[in-house]
Structure 1
């Protein structure tokens, strides 16, 4: 079967790091990007509009863009204000933008001491968002406050992503350079007890409700399944996507008293040739997820293949550089966007 070519938006000079579909407008998404592949130089936030295009696929255009002094690594739309979104920056700052206002952010926060690599807005506590950083911390924010509400000392090293559970308020999952995936309950932060190899005096770590030893290598990405509470996918340098059943996690005061280690690996999805940079579960199907990889492909997988069938449903391979972001349209089932260091955003139907 011949698939129509994707809709493409080219942003010369700005390599993409992340994309985010608006939860309010089916025809709008945000692109976080950086000059010089994010290694040095400025960043740009693109607000992209989808209009009618040929062959039933949308035409893509830049509605507006915002320049930043440092590279942008992630973006997340507000869940309460249709025109607002936050960005994560290489200079450790977090900025809140309003797309009805030209040029400058409406708020900025500077607490992280290293690059901020992810931001995520809660779809339950809709006035809160979190950030994760190379400084090992995860911070909880509300746009109304000049400082963070909470700081988790989540990992001893870089936290690549932190995401709110879509089912449980105040529950966050993180992944890190240290090869673990962790689940935290924000209501009962406590510190890990000191022990062999743990120096809690100079480097206190917040106790996780559950720590999943997910990989021998760095974990670059994770996502919560939208239909099955406490089922998560993780992926990273080992090229394999793993699906974890973490339903044994205990929350609340119990979690602080007895931090657990565990997680059952339900599924291994192998096929990417290089590190997997992003995974995202479908918002419409409990058994479908997408992945983006340094092998220059975006892939779509099923966790419940037909007998004798393959887990792999689709390979999208027009990109000519690392594919670093992918995201499902929240409104249009089967429409997926991918973004890459080739400065191209692709939107296609699976």
Structure 2
């Protein structure tokens, strides 16, 4: 296990480069993101450990990052001041572009990995915006149905299978699917966590239409949105539920190498590797009730962090199983999940 200290800054997001097997980036904030500056770390993975390549400071905290799918040296970051900034890691000091249309904190950014020409952002102002790196304004704004109180959209992600599909989760506990080809783009609306805030989601890389969501209710739920009818999803049931975290689930990430393996990060100061046994079962009993003990098992528990674990990601490179986490304890960890002790379930 390799460790890097983000001295004075609490990690919020960690991502492997989609181009280079030796680079990861971490978006971090001073004072736990409540007040103060942010810092983007670009780190090199070397035989001697993790080494800082370059760092960029911002005037407000950073909550998320996404590597460009077009340019190996560019990273977009989500700022607490409502701004989105694009950095080139070969150029020091300043972002090469900046956008500010969100009226509150930007909490997630995600690059379209299929058509590669756009990225999206989501914000505490409730909106999702679509951007092109060469355009000065957003291309489109998506707004969920207006609730009585404003809803924070915690995360929005493009589908890895279709460049026009996007999913989001928010503080109302809903999972929503957006079809960007349509004038009225919201096509699926699932009350995924029954009013508990849904903090994170990820698309399965091998099973189109399968999405994992994580919530403050401590559960991870697996959904097959192909079962839903356009706009009518209130009765849709999850095909699996992963239970074991003791506090809110802050991040989920499906493995890029296996369709039944999931990594999660939680406020209980742990990260967990799960195996999802619903992959074949859902084909035969897609609407089966979830039993008291979920059709899953925790493969590994990473308990090295000493504060909230809020970011996690899988490596696309090398032997399958390498992953990274970041936490509020000012550390980034890189480890091989295959070398961790297996739990008996």
TM-score when scaled to structure 2? 0.89
Q: Secondary structure at the match of 1:247?
A: helix
2:298 paired residue number: 312
Residue in 1 that maps onto 2:72: 82
* Partner of residue 52 from structure 1, selected from 43, 47, 52: 47
* Pairing 1:261–2:233 present: yes
1:238-317 aligned within 5 A: 238-249=217-228, 255=230, 259-262=231-234, 263-304=236-277, 311-317=297-303
- Mapped to 1, the partners of 2:66 and 2:182 lie a distance apart of 26
Conserved 8 A contact 1:246-1:264: no
Give the conservation status (yes or no) of the 8 Å contact 2:277–2:296. Answer: no
- Contact 2:107-2:124 at 8 Å conserved across structures: yes
Counterpart in the other structure of 1:38: 33
Partner residue, 1:188: 182
Contact 1:130 1:139 in 2 (8 A): yes
| Number of the residue aligned with 2:134 | 144
Using the TM superposition, give the Cα deviation of residue 249 of structure 1 relative to its aligned residue in structure 2, in angstroms: 4.7
Report how far residue 297 of structure 1 moved: 0.1
**Matched position secondary structure for 2:54:** strand
Deviation at 1:310, TM superposition (A): 5.8
Report the 3-state secondary structure (helix = DSSP H, G, I; strand = E; otherwise coil) of the residue aligned with 1:168: coil
The total of aligned residue pairs comes to 317
One of 64, 86, 110 as aligned partner of 1:96: 86
Q: Does 1:234 align with 2:224?
A: no
Q: Distance in 1 between matches of 2:162 and 2:6?
A: 38
Q: Distance in 2 between matches of 1:304 and 1:61?
A: 38
- Aligned counterparts of 1:97 and 1:63: Cα–Cα separation in 2: 14
Indicate the SS of the match to 1:48: strand
1:153-172 map, 5 Å: 153-154=143-144, 156=146, 157-172=151-166
What CA distance in whole angstroms lies between the structure 2 residues aligned with 1:337 and 1:155?
35
Hey, what's the Cα distance between the residues in 2 that align with 1:310 and 1:126?
34
Residue matched to 2:191? 213
1:220-264 deviations in Å (ceiling 9; x for gaps)? 0000000000000001100010000111356xxxx5xxx222443
**Structure 2 residue aligned with 1:197:** none
Measured after TM superposition, the shift of residue 142 of structure 1 is 0.3
Q: Distance in 2 between matches of 1:187 and 1:134?
A: 25
Q: Which runs of 5+ in 2 are unaligned?
A: 281-292, 338-345
CA RMSD across the alignment = 1.7
The alpha carbon displacement at 1:85 in A equals 1.0
Q: Secondary structure at the match of 1:234?
A: strand
Q: Distance in 1 between matches of 2:71 and 2:59?
A: 25
User: Take 2:227 and 2:296, find their aligned partners in 1: how far apart are those partners?
Assistant: 29
Aligned with 1:347 (options 303, 321, 334): 334
Q: Distance in 2 between matches of 1:140 and 1:300?
A: 32
Q: Secondary structure at the match of 1:211?
A: strand
In 2: Cα distance, 1:176 partner to 1:295 partner: 21
Shift of residue 155, structure 1, vs aligned partner: 5.4
Task: Give the TM-score of the pair, scaled to structure 1.
Answer: 0.88
Deviations 1:304-326 (CA, angstroms, capped at 9, x unpaired): 299x9961100000100000001
Aligned match of 2:60: 70
CA distance in structure 1 between the partners assigned to 2:326 and 2:170 by the alignment: 22
Per the TM alignment, residue 125 of structure 1 is displaced from its structure 2 partner at its CA by 1.6
Match of 1:175 in 2: 169
Match of 1:56 in 2: none
